[in-house]
Amino acid sequence: MTEQLRPTIDVLDAAAYLSVSKYTVINRIKQGELKAYKQGNIWKIKREWLLEYEESLVSQPKGANP
């Protein structure tokens, strides 16, 4: 599915990719767990940042909260 990701995506696309709500994505951004920048009032996430975040979820020890 990574082939379908544009170079820069918004919160809704990131949420759909990760199968979480947009609020979860926004919370992860505000907590510093997911890199993003604001373009006007819209959060933007680079594809590589999203994939790095996804990899960090996969590499977490079992029982750790994502």
pLDDT tens digits, one per residue of 1-56: 555 778 999 999 999 999 999 999 999 999 999 999 999 999 999 999 999 999 99
First CA to last CA distance, the chain? 21
d(CA 7, CA 64): 29
What's the CATH number where 21 sits? Answer: 1.10.1660
The more confidently predicted of residues 52 and 60 is 52
* 32 is a domain residue: yes
Q: Residue 11: exposed, middle, or buried by beta-carbon count in 10 A (0-12, 13-18, 19+)?
A: buried
Hey, is 28 helix, strand or coil? Answer: helix
* 64 is a domain residue: no
Give residue 60's pLDDT.
72
pTM for the model stands at 0.80
* 11 is a domain residue: yes
